[in-house]
Chain A
Amino acid sequence: MAATQRGDAAAYVALLNDVGPLVLSFLRRRVRSPEDAEDLYQDVFFALHRARHTYEPPRPVEPWLFTIARHVVADHLERRQLRAAREVVVEDPPAPAVEGDGFARRQLEQVLGGMPPSQREALELLKVDGLSVERAAARARTTPAALKVRAHRAYRTLRHLL
């Protein structure tokens, strides 16, 4: 750790590799979700990095390390509790904004029906199905550049029709 404070990158890499498993098992004992543990793992490492000047060389590393890790976890749990306290559980979820036979949906279908098929397909693949440009282009059997042009024309048509 003292070498790390002197700017020795190799020593720093070795240290981080050494403490990684310790930090991870510490987090897994305190956080149930693996995604949260992985996210907190990064938070702990960033906190260690930014606080590395606060380590006092003759003292053991573990209390310093785990004090920081414990606070990162405590902050996370506190934030989660706050979020949970603000959430309202309702018995009946609100009705979707666009009903199956609603006016907005009908209007949207009318507008889409008035578009050239290639533009309509580009818009549906990108905005309704949420595909990336590459995947949408593959699905439409065209190139990404051509799909972007179709989508751009579709937006213009949509603006005109609405």
Chain B
Amino acid sequence: MTREPDLPRSHAALVARLAGDARSVRPLRPPAVRLVPWLALAVAVVAGAMAVGLRTDGPAMLVHPLVALELAALAAGAILAAAAALTAAAPGRTGARRLARAALAAALVATALFLVEPTRSLAGFVPNGLRCAFCVGLFGALPWLALFVLVRRGAPLDAGRAAAYVGAAAFLVGAAAVRVACPIDDGLHLVAGHMAPVALGVALSVLLAARALARWRRRPA
């Protein structure tokens, strides 16, 4: 092993130390490939929510154009945010921020579409909102955990952003699941009880996951 004259004095020892730990590793697959199993899980969660939900119209609600648009916007937001999270965990890949901005735009479109829904009554606004917020968290928990594991397997350079993308993707799935399960179609309820928890989920995700996602950068003792 020859050492370049210009290299730091620690170079040879450093290389020897790292080479001593050069066991084989399983290469990370491209983000698009890694996204597929997560999407399958997200679809299963939404389908499960529809099956156990309180709506009486079931799949018939999907033919309603406004509802279909709302779900499409939520799904687009979730997919784009998940793609952003997986891209952010692959150094050298670009476009995570662009995907995240597109996800934010999709979430804003979903919120705007919710506001198009008329508000018929404010009776039970708070308890219904809290119940739906809890359900968004519940339905988003499994997609969150799955995406967190997928992102942690990579090397997220900006752990805070990656954690935010994970939260956005997972809780947008939660919001889509609650949209197909919740019988209340009031605009205000949908914004306060279905979309506000997504923002809260993003903040919680950053608080809970950012440190864990940054762990790979820690220098060994």
Interface residues of A (CB under 8 A from B): 2, 4-9, 12-13, 16-17, 20-21, 24, 37-38, 41-43, 45-47, 49-57, 59, 63-65, 67-68, 71-72, 75
Question: Are A38 and B10 CB-contacts (below 8 A) given A7-B24, A9-B22, A55-B27?
Answer: yes
**Nearest opposing residue in chain B for A47, CB measure:** B217
A-B contacts besides A7-B22, A24-B6, A51-B216, 10 pairs, CB < 8 Å = A8-B22, A20-B15, A24-B7, A41-B10, A45-B18, A50-B216, A54-B89, A64-B92, A67-B91, A67-B92
Interface residues of B (CB under 8 A from A): 1-4, 6-11, 14-15, 18-30, 89-92, 154-155, 157-158, 216-217, 219-220
Which one, A20, A50, A51, contacts B11 given CB within 8 A? A20
Which one, A5, A46, A54, contacts B154 given CB within 8 A? A54
Q: Is the CB of B91 within 8 A of A54?
A: yes
Question: Are A5 and B24 CB-contacts (below 8 A) given A16-B19, A17-B1, A64-B92?
Answer: yes
- For the complex, give the distance between the alpha carbons of A104 and B204 in Å: 53
- For the complex, give the distance between the alpha carbons of A37 and B157 in Å: 20
A-B contact pairs, 21 of them (CB 8 A): A2-B27, A6-B24, A9-B22, A17-B1, A20-B7, A24-B7, A24-B8, A38-B10, A41-B11, A41-B14, A43-B219, A47-B217, A52-B25, A53-B26, A53-B27, A54-B89, A54-B90, A55-B91, A56-B28, A63-B92, A68-B155
Q: Is the CB of A21 within 8 A of B7?
A: yes
Contacts of A50 in B (CB 8 A): 155, 216-217
- For the complex, give the distance between the alpha carbons of A51 and B220 in Å: 13
> Nearest Cβ distance between residue B27 and chain A, in whole angstroms?
5
Question: Are A45 and B157 CB-contacts (below 8 A) given A24-B7, A50-B216?
Answer: no
- For the complex, give the distance between the alpha carbons of A134 and B89 in Å: 50
Contacts of B11 in A (CB 8 A): 20, 41
Which one, A2, A7, A17, A43, contacts B15 given CB within 8 A? A17
Of the candidates B7, B9, B23, B92, the one having the most CB atoms from chain A within 10 angstroms of its own CB is: B92
Which one, B7, B23, B92, contacts A59 given CB within 8 A? B92
Which one, B1, B8, B91, B219, contacts A51 given CB within 8 A? B91
- For the complex, give the distance between the alpha carbons of A53 and B38 in Å: 20
Q: Is the CB of B8 within 8 A of A56?
A: no
- For the complex, give the distance between the alpha carbons of A5 and B216 in Å: 17
> Nearest Cβ distance between residue B55 and chain A, in whole angstroms?
43
**Nearest opposing residue in chain B for A6, CB measure:** B24
> Nearest Cβ distance between residue A16 and chain B, in whole angstroms?
5
Q: Is the CB of B18 within 8 A of A49?
A: yes
- For the complex, give the distance between the alpha carbons of A65 and B92 in Å: 7
